[in-house]
Amino acid sequence: MNIATGPMSPDVAGLDLDSWSKGLFIGGEWLEGHGPHRIPVVDPSSEAVLTHVANADLSDAAAAVDAAAAAAPAWAATAPRKRSEILRRCFELMTERAEMLAKLISLENGKALRDARGEVAYAAEFFRWNAEEAVRIVGEFGMAPAGANRILVDYQPIGVCVLITPWNFPAAMATRKIAPALAAGCTMVLKPATETPLTAYALAALYKEAGVPDGVVNVITTSTPGPVTAAMLADPRVRKLSFTGSTGVGRTLLAEASKTVLSCSMELGGNAPLIVFDDADLDTALDGAMVAKMRNAGEACTAANRLYVQSGIYDRFVAGLTARMEALVVGAGTGAGTECGPMITAKAVAKIDELVQDAVGRGAKVLCGGNKPAGPGFFYPPTVLTDVPPDAAMAHEEIFGPVAPITRFETEDEVVARANDTEYGLAAYVFTKDIGRGLKVSRRIEAGMVALNRGLVSDPAAPFGGMKQSGLGREGGSHGVLEFTEPQYVAVTL
């Protein structure tokens, strides 16, 4: 493992952490939470406590919903052009402060600064895209087939939304929900992951500066997400849940949401296959595999979880990927030259190691990495495994770390069957110079998103989301904003 020379203790120089840990953001004000203790925020690179944030209890959650409900009529009545201009200002402010935000993300999440910079650009783009969408939410008007009346369809804001986000993209997973919700005319309560709350609070201050009215976006952190979320979902004023996180928590929330028949958009876990056919360009496939596997050090729902490589190119691909994985520089997220930062928690490292040891116990070969280093910091080395049998746990579960299990295949039918042998259906990657075959295979794979001859699929202008147990609904593109609307149909006799 190549260790970076960067700092292994928190380097907060230039970041005013106190300004983003002042309290819960409710009704445009910073309020102390009533939870039993403040929540520590830990630097995964050093294990040092960076600061503490407020802890919301049920009364704080109710106050946040009160604020969102009070702000709802005025925001829904705000002209789309005005909403669009505020969204555009959010984009501009995020872009102006990109370096500061990237450093903050890198500090609390641990991801390499270069990944954090990419995330800020991606996250800001949701504001630019939805600034353009806000003025293009058009209805429909036409003659009913029977000729007796006209059909008028109007897309109205769905109302107060509860947004729940994970720690792996602290900025982008929030803006992918907040920007379309604002464009549609909705108000909201965001509950970010407690591992990475500072980015959410830094952005909350930025929205206020950009002109988002008080109460339209509220942000609360809590050490008891189960009861706090359940209380908000049970509130009849809440009309929408938009969740990004694990499939397990998603199932629990769907059950909660069923009690009030809430509209749900769910962005859940993945188990992406990456398929390399014999005729693929080797460098394109290796470049793509490194991005698909190692963006965010493998902590991405879209991360390539299973790599299937056809016999004719197998040896060259395995040698090339192992060389690239071994060469990666591992270190503190904010460290100069770091390419692979730490994992989010000690628990995450233990889970990755358990999956690797399970595969090795079943006959997998370790070509590089494969063992947990001593601390401090929650590090796991870039790891390549071959001969991972289909019954290994990692063939069915998200690895969520820098581990690439490579399996040889012979035929297209065989690899399609293997790719689809999972309850997940989020992303997939296909490498072949034969575009006809690439498109045909893409269609046979049960995944909401397929990257053909590339390792990156996410794009604010495209519908992001999963099939099967990877989710419900889509974020981004023209689909994203519609998730925050309710179509109302009026039958009109002229």
Q: Under the criterion CB under 6 A, does residue 119 sit at the interface with ligand NAD?
A: no
φ and ψ at residue 490, rounded to 5 degrees:
-120, 125
Which of 68, 72, 171, 173 is the binder for ligand NAD (CB under 6 A)? 173
Which of 159, 245, 455, 477 is the binder for ligand NAD (CB under 6 A)? 245
Which of 23, 27, 170, 269 is the binder for ligand NAD (CB under 6 A)? 269
Q: Under the criterion CB under 6 A, does residue 267 sit at the interface with ligand NAD?
A: yes
* Residue for token pair 């829904």: 76
Supply the minimum distance, in Å, between the C-beta of residue 236 and ligand NAD.
19
Q: Under the criterion CB under 6 A, does residue 425 sit at the interface with ligand NAD?
A: no
Separation between Cα atoms, residue 266 and residue 175, nearest integer Å: 15
> Where does this chain touch ligand NAD (CB under 6 A) — which range of 76-84, 137-145, 221-229, 368-376?
221-229
Interior angle at CA 403, CA 399 and CA 404, nearest 5: 105
φ and ψ at residue 337, rounded to 5 degrees:
85, -5
> Where does this chain touch ligand NAD (CB under 6 A) — which range of 115-123, 161-169, 320-328, 435-443?
161-169
Nearer to ligand NAD, 252 or 357 (CB): 252
Cα 473 vs. chain centroid, distance in angstroms?
14
Instruction: Output DSSP code: residue 464.
Output: B
Q: Under the criterion CB under 6 A, does residue 179 sit at the interface with ligand NAD?
A: no
Which of 33, 44, 110, 166 is the binder for ligand NAD (CB under 6 A)? 166
Q: Under the criterion CB under 6 A, does residue 252 sit at the interface with ligand NAD?
A: yes
Q: Under the criterion CB under 6 A, does residue 398 sit at the interface with ligand NAD?
A: yes
Q: Under the criterion CB under 6 A, does residue 345 sit at the interface with ligand NAD?
A: no
The amino acid occupying position 124 is A
Nearer to ligand NAD, 21 or 168 (CB): 168
φ and ψ at residue 266, rounded to 5 degrees:
-125, 120
Q: Under the criterion CB under 6 A, does residue 168 sit at the interface with ligand NAD?
A: yes
Interior angle at CA 90, CA 84 and CA 92, nearest 5: 105
> Where does this chain touch ligand NAD (CB under 6 A) — which range of 23-31, 75-83, 84-92, 189-197?
189-197
Which of 257, 426, 441, 482 is the binder for ligand NAD (CB under 6 A)? 426
> Where does this chain touch ligand NAD (CB under 6 A) — which range of 119-127, 248-256, 283-291, 486-494?
248-256
Q: Under the criterion CB under 6 A, does residue 229 sit at the interface with ligand NAD?
A: yes
Active site residues: 267, 301
CB 325 within 8 Å of CB 404 = yes
Nearer to ligand NAD, 68 or 318 (CB): 68
H-only helix segments in 245-310? 247-258, 282-294
Q: Under the criterion CB under 6 A, does residue 226 sit at the interface with ligand NAD?
A: yes
Sketch the per residue contact string, 274 through 303, with ligand NAD: x for CB under 6 A, - otherwise. ---------------------------x--
Separation between Cα atoms, residue 102 and residue 125, nearest integer Å: 14
Residue number with the smallest Cβ distance to ligand NAD: 245
Q: Under the criterion CB under 6 A, does residue 188 sit at the interface with ligand NAD?
A: no
Supply the minimum distance, in Å, between the C-beta of residue 362 and ligand NAD.
23
H-only helix segments in 18-57? none
Separation between Cα atoms, residue 200 and residue 191, nearest integer Å: 9
The amino acid occupying position 360 is V
Neighbours of 487 (CB within 10 A): 11
Which of 112, 164, 388, 430 is the binder for ligand NAD (CB under 6 A)? 164
Q: Which of residues 74-113 bind ligand NAD (CB under 6 A)?
A: none
Nearer to ligand NAD, 245 or 320 (CB): 245
The closest alpha carbon to 159, from 137, 175, 181, belongs to 181
Q: Rounded to whole angstroms, what are the CA distances from 82 to 28, 72, 155, 212?
A: 19, 15, 18, 10
Nearer to ligand NAD, 1 or 456 (CB): 456
Q: Under the criterion CB under 6 A, does residue 244 sit at the interface with ligand NAD?
A: yes
Separation between Cα atoms, residue 88 and residue 212, nearest integer Å: 11
Separation between Cα atoms, residue 494 and residue 189, nearest integer Å: 41
Supply the minimum distance, in Å, between the C-beta of residue 450 and ligand NAD.
15
Radius of gyration of the chain (CA): 23
Separation between Cα atoms, residue 64 and residue 222, nearest integer Å: 13
Helix (H) or strand (E) holding 322: helix 311-327
The closest alpha carbon to 184, from 460, 484, 487, belongs to 484
Which residues sit at the interface with ligand NAD, rule CB under 6 A? 164-168, 173, 191, 193-194, 225-226, 229, 244-246, 249, 252-253, 267-270, 301, 398, 426, 466, 471
